Structure 1
Amino acid sequence: MTDHLLLGIDTGGTYTDAVLFSETEGVVAKAKALTTRHDLSVGIAGAVDAVLEQAKVPAGAISLVSLSTTLATNALVEGQGGRAGLVMIGFGPEDLKRDGLQEALGSDPVIFLPGGHNVHGGETPLDMTALDEALPQLSAQVSSFAVAGYFAVRNPAHEQRVRDRIRDVSHLPVTCSHELSSKLGGPRRALTTLLNARLVSMIDRLIGACEGFLQQRGIDVPMMVVRGDGALISAAEARLRPIETILSGPAASLVGARHLTGLDNAVVSDIGGTTTDVAVLDQGRPRLDGEGAVVGGFRTMVEAVAMRTFGLGGDSEVRINDRGLQARIDLGPRRFLPLSLAAFQHADAVISVLERQLRTAHGGRHDGRFAVRTGLPDHLASGLQPQEQALYERIGAVPVALESLLTSTLQKATLDRLVARGLVHICGLTPSDAMHVLGRQDQWNATAARLGAELAARVKDGSGKPIASSAEALSDMIVARLTRQSAEVILSSCLAEDGAAIDPAVSLAVDRALKREPGIVAFSLSLDRPLVGLGASAPVYYPAIADMLGAESRIPPEAGVANAVGAVVGQVRASVTVFVTVPEEGIFIVNGAGPSSRFLDEGAAFASARARAQMAALTSARSNGADEPAVMMREEIDAPDIEGSRKLVEARFTAIASGRPRVAHG
């Protein structure tokens, strides 16, 4: 039998990564291309064509494609997404005030319908009059619908009837809350369903871009998407439930980290250009956020990795605070375009300005800084204020020095707004530039990095002395700061996991331990598990960070493409819970994974619930693309002894089916 080649793709905010993976040989080829936001298929094509070329294999050799992405997370964080109509069954307007639902809804329309069920699955009659009156007009104003019914997790019949009516009239995508979560808590389930409906068109675009590219290359194989808990789902399911792909990228990097290192217990820290993500691997599985993932300030009901994200990366802004007697350097949270990268693309425009600024006797406020358009298409720059439009027109595809662009203090705030909208990059000194000066990175233009560092080293501190004696000395200070800030964010994540309320950035004891300062009392700290460093720049930063934290450092050779590896080595996993409740003595109601059933015998009710959960989990795992799923059962029975006799309150039977995804047999 020939070895199957699996293609992993990770579409991030900056780069799209591709990996060709063989189950016997591991990573066969890897490549990166810039993510092209105006048309995602361009970046996907760039990365995939490069790995096929590198491996010298035809497209037909691929037997599975799997995708991880941060696009859904970024969209929710940035408040983007389509307009959705929310239909609430059995709820009233006061329910919008709970769990941030009103805030999330914003100006999107909502319809309240009489109906819903009780905890045992009994119904209040459903009345769809208000829906029928509103639908013809609403269908033209929204791009999708979200439907949430009272106790729909116990009986989804009303949600299903409303969904079918909306589909018949509008032909738009509809998400029902019972399809996303089996947990109680109507308003938060409604919020999760609403966010899901908003993301449908965006994830549809990403999957469509990927499918379109694969079709052009004649690759006709199963396609999977990574879920926020690290498991895989079929592309068709991801289109229906895109909310499950929030935190897909970080989850894939954890799965990749475990596969690449073989470690069951580790702290995993992934450094990118913009952010550092920190999470914990426990007994071979990512720790999940028990309360549900928080994205863009909203707590959802989506099971996802417990991941903490910090605005600290290789391209973070270097901020110099020169007011004290000794200057202080801080990094982030804003991302800059490194001077070395800007000059790699536009050497003449950048280097000539930096050389001229160095020749002047006194430094200027905006020395070493430029502005350049990000390359987003024009229609995304619509709705600018007149002063924003005027400044935007003076910025082009070639970096322009801030000293000549900004003529007043007010214009600085205008520029910051253009940056916040993703239309303009500021180019300036970053840790990546410092690494070029020190000779530890060499992929871009080291001359521009050195000139930028020399300019920044001239800045005087409160005592009137330059903050550094040379470009090298300043670069050492920047890298030391990145090491220390990284150690602090990793520590704060681990302390939070331990439930310890200590802020490492302000704790004097932590400061002494990290600096290893001598004293009668010697403070030290260490992690109880290895630190796995991921990200393209992990090999240059993480050995020193692990050393500071007293941890063993593990940086796999494929650290730069761990997400794409995680996308192909994951498992399909489906979980279904069925409940047994007792509305009155001697009557047992089985709810979940189908219509309610009534039993007069507890044993028969339990057997039915077990069989129902198993069957539904297996069916779900297979529809999600699992090949030969295996099932594990978990049972929780609440039956306290009351006055000497056992009284059943509720029993929960959870079946978890998991297996590797199906592959195409060429």
Structure 2
Amino acid sequence: MLLGIDTGGTYTDAVLFTEEDGVLRTAKSLTTKHDLSIGICDAVNRIMDREGDQIRMVSLSTTLATNAIVEAHDSPVCLIMIGYDKGSLERSNLGTAIGKNPYVFIDGGHTPLGDEQSALDLDAVKRAIDEHAPNVSAFAVAGYFSVRNASHEEAVRNLILEKTDRPVTCAHELSSGLDAPRRALTAFLNAQLIPQLHQLIHSVDIMLQEKGIKAPVMVVKGDGSLISAQTALERPVETILSGPAASVVGAKYLSGASDVFVVDMGGTTTDIAILMDGEPKLSEEGANVGGWRTMVKAVAVSTYGLGGDSEVALNRTQRCLSIGPRRAYPISLLAQQHPSVLEELQQQLRNERIGEYDGRFALKLRELNTALTSLSRLELEIWESLADGPVALNTLLERPAMAGPLQRLIDRGLVINAGLTPSDSSHILNKQNNWTRDGALLCAQLFLRQSQRDNYLLGVTPDDLAEMIYQQTIVQAGKTILDTAFIEEKIPQMTNTQSLGLALLDNALHNKSGSTTNTPLLDFTVKLGRGIVATGAPSAIYYPEITARLNTELNLPENADVSNAVGAVCGGVVQKYTVLISSPEKGRFRTHMGTEQKNFTVAQDAIDYAKSHAEEKAYQMASESGATDIIVEVDQFDKIITDAGGDQLFIESAIIATAKGRPVLAV
């Protein structure tokens, strides 16, 4: 038997699976971010008892990395840039991504041919390590043209490991592609994600020990293939879009569809991919998550901050409801877990004075991954006040000075706001019943009281508000699918909120069945060219109506709510290794392999050496990633131009070895 586990922002799913019989048992449990092992153990306990010795492989998928980027929840990281100029921060949104994290420019780096452009300033590196190590959870190191010579990155990495216990990410290990700022961005994001993936895999280890499971542990990469847990710990950025990729693989298995949109709606995000001829479409430019274009090869997924637990807020400027992109802890769930929350909501409703933060609470989401000294005095005060459970924001923010520190804790993913969400509206409308409806009703009443104070939503009841949230969620979800179709068809996106195009789409997506007015003079419809396979826990609530408005077919397969966990056990291992060959001068050819460069006078000799090295390295990487029955294919891509005299000039060649295998299973 194979055990598939998916850890999402809201739920942790578990699946028992065999190649002969498919899905045997499934279970869902709430994700417990403060200690992931609790949710994982709970889900696994629901589908197995004493069968630990029968499990031959455990495979994980997770949306935690994707969610962290989309919601801008990050761990503090120091980025060391070797040989970069300060203008690099303006390219690929690198400076925006870094935000308030420390970064350091260090002399060094290499030329496009792998020669040293200037000596590495190790003294400056030592000073940077001493200054920033106490306040960060990891380091990222990016050297200029490190894909042609990685010696400076390696030297800095070794120094960091010698002086600290912080994990280090080197940019050259994540991508062989040129684009220095984007490579630095990818390394930076990788370093931010290390603590989260470490927590996940450590939590799985706890479950394995508890259940007596001695099977290999694999993790789904963003392209849907598998890597060993150890490899994932070294390169967690490759698990960006792990959950969506697993969902696509699982959706294909569960539905049998071959040419469809695959939509995975979870608690935090909606992820949309396309199956073409039965295969997931891969991103040619690298995974794009939360607006950051990485250099990680992944399934072409459009990720939107819209899910069952998206935060519902009142946009006072535009006088409308806004849903997402940030997640909020659903009040119906919070009230079920903490009955005192119901009492607080009732008291707020009895108060004559309308509180600024009525119906909203804060609670710890996970533990610190840095020293307490990394928190300011006010941040520490808030952190300690949340030690015993959720606290009403009216209490927490009695002093205006506390708002900024609270927001910083939220930005780091340490604390989360609880409030009204689409999940709460589903409880009010009796479309969902697994949490406390009373909490959702009270929160809706408080939300309306605040809105009506501002002369908005006058005469609206809690049921009316819940229906408005439900309808707006449908409209926003429909737009995400159309947006993905526009991108695929290369149709320019409509960014002007006053544009005629957006007005027509709004008209087509809004529900007109309940209108009591006369038949409109204009009534637009939109038709999607492919059907939709909908997966994820909230999909059954929303997608029957969404597909009806998009005039397309819905495939809601059995076990669609645990599609990610199914996909986690259906993939294989794929690893690629690239060797570049350059020509520093006529008649000389140079191979670039990490810290090693080798010169040849005959092009074919360089190619033969590169192919042999790439094949050996790809095989080794696949083996280390947990594969057996490995087959390696080697491709050669030459860049040759013709000069003015008609002669052909060799510019460079890329030798790419692809190793494929199936996961090693326990005996």
Per-residue deviation at 1:364? 5.4
- The residue number in structure 2 matching 1:300 is 294
Aligned 8 A contact 1:368 1:429 in 2 = no
**Ranges in structure 1 where 5+ consecutive residues have no aligned partner:** none
Indicate the residue corresponding to 1:188 in structure 2.
182
1:337-357 per-position Cα deviation (integer Å, ceiling 9, x unaligned): 444434434568627965995
Note if contact 2:260-2:531 (Cα within 8 Å) is conserved in structure 1: yes
Structure 1 residues 25 and 602: CA distance shift in structure 2, 3 A: same
Residues 23-48 of structure 1: per-residue CA shift (max 9 Å, x gap): 12222222223333333222222222
- The match for 1:509 is 504
Of the structure 1 ranges 315-324 and 619-628, higher mean CA displacement relative to structure 2 is found in: 315-324
Report deviation, 1:562.
Answer: 1.7
Q: Give me the whole-angstrom Cα distance separating, in 2, the residues matched to 1:112 and 1:328.
A: 48
Name the SS for the 2:48 alignment partner. Answer: helix
The Cα offsets for residues 463-500 of structure 1, whole Å up to 9 and x where unpaired, read as 999545x6655544432222222111221222123221
Give 1:650 shift. Answer: 2.4
- Is the CA contact (8 Å cut-off) linking 2:581 and 2:654 kept in structure 1? yes
- What does residue 652 of structure 2 align with? 650
Aligned residue runs from structure 1 range 226-305, under 5 A: 226-295=220-289, 298-305=292-299
Aligned to 1:14: 10
Partner of 2:206: 212
2:622 is matched with 621
Is residue 23 of structure 1 aligned with residue 23 of structure 2?
A: no
Corresponding residue for 1:64? 57
Q: Residue 519 and residue 140 in structure 1: after superposition, are their counterparts in 2 closer, same or farther (change >3 A)?
A: closer
Tell me if the contact between 2:273 and 2:302 (Cα under 8 Å) persists in the aligned partners.
yes
**In structure 1, C-alpha distance between the alignment counterparts of 2:523 and 2:175, rounded to whole Å:** 50
Change over 3 Å in CA distance of 1:442–1:43 after alignment to 2: closer
- Tell me, yes or no, if structure 1 residue 445 matches structure 2 residue 448: no
**1:181, distance to aligned residue in structure 2 (A):** 1.0
Matched position secondary structure for 1:652: strand
CA distance in 1, matches of 2:406, 2:120: 53
1:527 aligns with 2:525: no
Aligned to 2:515: none
Largest Rg, 1 or 2: 1
Deviation at 1:330, TM superposition (A): 4.5
- Pick closer, same or farther for the CA change 1:547–1:156 going to 2, 3 Å: same
Q: Contact 1:634 / 1:655 at 8 angstroms: preserved in 2?
A: yes
Which ranges of structure 2 fall in alignment gaps of 5 or more residues?
Answer: 513-518
Structure 1 residues 63-82: aligned runs within 5 Å = 63-76=56-69, 77-78=71-72, 80-82=74-76
Cα separation, partners in 2 of 1:520 and 1:584, compared to 1, 3 Å: same
1: distance between equivalents of 2:72 and 2:573?
29
CA 395–105 in structure 1, closer or farther in 2 if over 3 Å, else same: closer
* Contact 2:77–2:188 under 8 Å retained in 1: no
**Counterparts of 1:467-506 in structure 2 under 5 Å?**
467-468=459-460, 472=463, 474-503=465-494
Q: Distance in 2 between matches of 1:286 and 1:482?
A: 26
Q: 1:259 to 1:594 in 2, by over 3 A?
A: farther
Q: Tell me by how many angstroms 1:611 deviates.
A: 3.8
Change in CA separation of 1:197 and 1:354 when aligned onto 2, cut-off 3 Å: closer
| Secondary structure, aligned partner of 1:20 | strand
Equivalent-residue separation in structure 1 for 2:504 and 2:27 (angstroms): 43
Change (3 A) 1:48 1:448: same
Amino acid at match of 2:649: K
If asked which structure has higher relative contact order (CA below 8 Å, sep 6+), I would say: 2
Residue 344 of structure 1 pairs with residue 336 of structure 2: yes
Cα–Cα, structure 1 residues 409 and 149, in superposed 2: closer, same or farther, change >3 Å? Answer: closer
Q: Distance in 1 between matches of 2:40 and 2:479?
A: 35
Deviation at 1:602, TM superposition (A): 4.1
Pairs aligned (count): 650
Per-residue Cα deviation, 1:162-183 (whole angstroms, up to 9, x for no partner): 5456556657644333221111
Per the TM alignment, residue 636 of structure 1 is displaced from its structure 2 partner at its CA by 2.6
How far apart, CA to CA, are the structure 2 residues paired with 1:381 and 1:99? 32
Deviates more, 1:299-308 or 1:414-423: 414-423
- 2:112 is aligned to 119
**Residue identity in the other structure for 2:504:** A
Q: Distance in 2 between matches of 1:153 and 1:368?
A: 53
Instruction: Report the residue type matching 1:658 in the other structure.
Output: K
Q: Distance in 1 between matches of 2:239 and 2:61?
A: 8
1:373 to 358, 363, 370: 363
C-alpha distance in 1 between matches for 2:416 and 2:162: 46
Cα offsets for 1:409-452 (capped at 9, x unmatched): 99989987776676766655543343334433222334555566
CA contact (8 A) 1:85 1:145 kept: yes
* Alpha-carbon distance, 1:206 to partner: 2.6
- Aligned equivalents of 2:362 and 2:88: distance in 1? 46
Q: Deviations over 1:108-140 (max 9, x none)?
A: 464735463x43445568667537965995796
User: Which residue identity is paired with 1:59?
Assistant: G
SS of alignment partner, residue 666 of structure 2: coil
Q: Is the 8 A contact 2:150 2:594 kept in 1?
A: no
Moved more, 452-461 or 536-545: 452-461
Q: Per-residue displacement from partner, 1:565-617 (whole Å, max 9, x unpaired)? A: 22221221112223333333344434347844444444454444444433332
Other-structure match for 1:561: 562
Between the aligned partners of 1:472 and 1:437, the Cα distance in structure 2 is: 7
1:639 aligns with 2:630: no
> 8 Å contact 1:370–1:400 — kept in the other structure?
yes
Which one is further off, 531-540 or 339-348?
Answer: 339-348
**What root-mean-square deviation, in Å, do the aligned CA atoms of Structure 1 and Structure 2 show?**
4.4
Deviates more, 1:445-454 or 1:605-614: 445-454
| 8 Å Cα contact 1:516/1:524 also seen in 2 | no
**Inter-partner Cα distance in structure 2 for 1:341 and 1:481:** 22
The residue aligned with 1:130 is: 123
Distance 2:298 2:473 in 1: 28
Distance 1:278 1:175 in 2: 29
Per the TM alignment, residue 62 of structure 1 is displaced from its structure 2 partner at its CA by: 0.8
